[in-house]
Protein backbone atom coordinates (compact mmCIF):
# COMPACT_ATOMS: atom_id res chain seq x y z
CA UNK A 1 0.00 0.00 0.00
CA UNK A 2 2.82 2.41 0.89
CA UNK A 3 4.44 1.79 -2.51
CA UNK A 4 1.18 2.62 -4.33
CA UNK A 5 0.77 5.86 -2.37
CA UNK A 6 4.41 6.82 -3.02
CA UNK A 7 4.04 6.19 -6.77
CA UNK A 8 0.79 8.17 -6.84
CA UNK A 9 2.35 11.14 -5.00
CA UNK A 10 5.38 11.16 -7.32
CA UNK A 11 3.06 11.02 -10.35
CA UNK A 12 0.88 13.87 -9.09
CA UNK A 13 3.92 16.03 -8.28
CA UNK A 14 5.16 15.54 -11.84
CA UNK A 15 1.89 16.66 -13.45
CA UNK A 16 2.50 20.43 -13.30
CA UNK A 17 5.85 19.98 -15.05
CA UNK A 18 4.21 18.10 -17.92
CA UNK A 19 2.38 20.55 -20.18
CA UNK A 20 2.05 23.31 -17.60
CA UNK A 21 4.64 25.97 -17.11
CA UNK A 22 5.37 27.36 -13.67
CA UNK A 23 3.53 30.49 -12.55
CA UNK A 24 3.40 33.12 -15.27
CA UNK A 25 5.94 31.39 -17.53
CA UNK A 26 5.16 31.28 -21.23
CA UNK A 27 4.90 33.34 -24.37
CA UNK A 28 2.06 35.84 -24.16
CA UNK A 29 0.64 37.86 -27.08
CA UNK A 30 -1.37 41.02 -26.52
CA UNK A 31 -5.04 40.63 -27.45
CA UNK A 32 -5.88 44.12 -28.68
CA UNK A 33 -9.61 43.39 -28.97
CA UNK A 34 -9.92 42.23 -25.34
CA UNK A 35 -7.66 44.92 -23.85
CA UNK A 36 -9.09 48.19 -22.54
CA UNK A 37 -6.45 50.89 -22.88
CA UNK A 38 -8.41 53.84 -21.47
CA UNK A 39 -5.67 56.42 -20.75
CA UNK A 40 -2.78 54.15 -21.77
CA UNK A 41 -0.95 54.47 -25.08
CA UNK A 42 -1.88 51.50 -27.24
CA UNK A 43 1.03 49.57 -28.76
CA UNK A 44 0.58 48.25 -32.28
CA UNK A 45 1.79 44.83 -31.09
CA UNK A 46 3.35 43.30 -27.99
CA UNK A 47 4.70 39.89 -27.05
CA UNK A 48 5.97 39.01 -23.58
CA UNK A 49 8.13 35.95 -22.96
CA UNK A 50 8.02 35.33 -19.24
CA UNK A 51 10.06 32.93 -17.13
CA UNK A 52 8.82 32.62 -13.55
CA UNK A 53 11.61 31.29 -11.33
CA UNK A 54 9.59 31.74 -8.13
CA UNK A 55 11.93 34.17 -6.38
CA UNK A 56 12.50 36.18 -9.62
CA UNK A 57 10.63 36.79 -12.80
CA UNK A 58 12.12 37.58 -16.21
CA UNK A 59 9.91 39.33 -18.77
CA UNK A 60 11.30 39.86 -22.26
CA UNK A 61 9.02 42.39 -23.95
CA UNK A 62 9.01 42.87 -27.71
CA UNK A 63 6.63 45.63 -28.77
CA UNK A 64 5.91 48.08 -31.53
CA UNK A 65 4.85 51.55 -30.37
CA UNK A 66 4.44 54.53 -32.68
CA UNK A 67 5.99 52.50 -35.49
CA UNK A 68 9.18 51.75 -33.53
CA UNK A 69 10.25 48.29 -32.45
CA UNK A 70 11.16 47.99 -28.78
CA UNK A 71 12.93 45.25 -26.87
CA UNK A 72 13.08 45.47 -23.07
CA UNK A 73 14.09 42.78 -20.58
CA UNK A 74 12.86 43.05 -17.00
CA UNK A 75 14.65 40.76 -14.54
CA UNK A 76 12.94 41.30 -11.21
CA UNK A 77 13.15 39.75 -7.76
CA UNK A 78 9.62 38.98 -6.52
CA UNK A 79 10.21 40.15 -2.95
CA UNK A 80 9.45 43.83 -3.58
CA UNK A 81 13.04 45.03 -4.03
CA UNK A 82 13.33 48.00 -6.39
CA UNK A 83 15.28 47.60 -9.64
CA UNK A 84 16.60 50.77 -11.31
CA UNK A 85 16.94 51.00 -15.08
CA UNK A 86 19.35 52.98 -17.28
CA UNK A 87 18.14 56.49 -18.18
CA UNK A 88 17.16 55.59 -21.74
CA UNK A 89 15.05 52.48 -21.07
CA UNK A 90 11.85 53.12 -23.04
CA UNK A 91 8.71 51.02 -22.69
CA UNK A 92 5.80 52.13 -24.85
CA UNK A 93 5.90 55.92 -24.89
CA UNK A 94 7.45 56.33 -21.44
CA UNK A 95 10.90 56.05 -19.92
CA UNK A 96 11.07 53.28 -17.35
CA UNK A 97 12.86 54.41 -14.18
CA UNK A 98 12.24 51.79 -11.49
CA UNK A 99 10.27 48.55 -11.13
CA UNK A 100 9.45 46.42 -8.10
CA UNK A 101 7.53 43.12 -8.09
CA UNK A 102 5.97 41.20 -5.22
CA UNK A 103 3.68 38.23 -4.97
CA UNK A 104 0.17 38.63 -3.58
CA UNK A 105 -1.28 35.13 -3.42
CA UNK A 106 -1.55 33.86 -7.00
CA UNK A 107 -1.13 37.40 -8.39
CA UNK A 108 2.03 39.37 -9.06
CA UNK A 109 1.97 43.10 -8.24
CA UNK A 110 4.41 45.13 -10.35
CA UNK A 111 5.00 48.78 -9.42
CA UNK A 112 6.62 50.94 -12.12
CA UNK A 113 7.92 54.48 -11.91
CA UNK A 114 7.83 55.99 -15.41
CA UNK A 115 8.51 59.38 -16.93
CA UNK A 116 6.41 60.68 -19.80
CA UNK A 117 7.75 64.03 -20.94
CA UNK A 118 8.11 66.09 -17.75
CA UNK A 119 5.63 64.01 -15.77
CA UNK A 120 6.77 61.33 -13.35
CA UNK A 121 4.12 58.69 -12.56
CA UNK A 122 3.79 55.51 -10.58
CA UNK A 123 1.63 52.74 -12.02
CA UNK A 124 0.67 49.55 -10.23
CA UNK A 125 0.07 46.50 -12.42
CA UNK A 126 -1.64 43.41 -11.04
CA UNK A 127 -0.90 40.27 -13.06
CA UNK A 128 -3.44 37.44 -12.84
CA UNK A 129 -3.94 34.22 -14.78
CA UNK A 130 -7.30 32.86 -15.87
CA UNK A 131 -8.39 29.55 -14.31
CA UNK A 132 -7.43 27.65 -17.49
CA UNK A 133 -4.08 29.53 -17.61
CA UNK A 134 -4.75 30.60 -21.21
CA UNK A 135 -5.05 34.34 -20.44
CA UNK A 136 -2.80 36.73 -18.58
CA UNK A 137 -4.48 39.94 -17.45
CA UNK A 138 -2.40 42.96 -16.40
CA UNK A 139 -4.67 45.46 -14.65
CA UNK A 140 -3.00 48.87 -14.49
CA UNK A 141 -4.02 51.15 -11.62
CA UNK A 142 -2.99 54.50 -10.21
CA UNK A 143 -0.40 54.60 -7.43
CA UNK A 144 -3.03 54.46 -4.70
CA UNK A 145 -4.76 51.55 -6.46
CA UNK A 146 -8.12 53.32 -6.51
CA UNK A 147 -8.38 54.04 -10.23
CA UNK A 148 -7.95 51.44 -12.96
CA UNK A 149 -6.32 53.20 -15.92
CA UNK A 150 -6.23 50.24 -18.28
CA UNK A 151 -6.31 46.49 -18.70
CA UNK A 152 -3.96 44.54 -20.95
CA UNK A 153 -5.14 41.05 -21.89
CA UNK A 154 -2.67 38.52 -23.28
CA UNK A 155 -3.29 35.10 -24.81
CA UNK A 156 -0.84 32.24 -24.55
CA UNK A 157 0.88 31.42 -27.83
CA UNK A 158 2.56 33.03 -30.78
CA UNK A 159 1.46 36.20 -32.57
CA UNK A 160 -0.78 35.84 -35.62
CA UNK A 161 1.02 38.59 -37.55
Contact (Cβ atoms closer than 8 angstroms) between residue 122 and residue 99: no
* 122 assigned to some structural domain: yes
**Domain housing 145:** 24-156
Q: What is the mean pLDDT of residues 21-45?
A: 84
Does 6 fall in a domain?
Answer: no
Confidence tier at 56 by pLDDT (50, 70, 90): very high
Q: What is the largest CA-CA distance in the chain?
A: 69
Residue 3 resides in a domain: no
Is it the case that residue 40 has pLDDT exceeding 80? no
In a domain, 37, yes or no: yes
The structural domain count of the chain equals 1
The 10 Å Cβ neighbour count of residue 43 is 20
Compute the distance between CA of residue 60 and CA of residue 69 in angstroms, rounded to an integer: 13
Do the domain assignments include residue 107? yes
Residue 11 binned pLDDT confidence (cut-offs 50, 70, 90)? very low
For residues 139 and 126, the answer to whether their CB atoms sit within 8 Å is yes
pTM of the entire predicted model: 0.81
Q: Give the pLDDT of residue 22.
A: 66
pLDDT 10s digits, 88-134:
888 877 889 999 999 999 999 999 999 988 999 999 999 999 999 99
Residue 161 has pLDDT above 90, yes or no: no
Residue 84 belongs to a domain: yes
Residue 63 forms part of a structural domain: yes
Q: Which of 138, 132, 111 is nearest to 123 (CA)?
A: 111
A 10 A CB-CB count for 8 gives 10
- The 10s digit of each residue's pLDDT in 58-81 is 999 998 877 888 899 999 999 999
Euclidean distance between CA atoms 92 and 115, whole angstroms: 11
Q: Is residue 146 part of a domain?
A: yes
- The domain spanning residue 102 has which CATH number? 2.40.128.20
Amino acid sequence: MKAVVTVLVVFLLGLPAQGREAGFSGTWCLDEAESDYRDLQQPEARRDTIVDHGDRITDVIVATARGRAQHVTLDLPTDGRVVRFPARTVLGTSTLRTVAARRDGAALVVTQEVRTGDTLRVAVMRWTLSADRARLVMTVASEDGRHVVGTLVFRRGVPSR
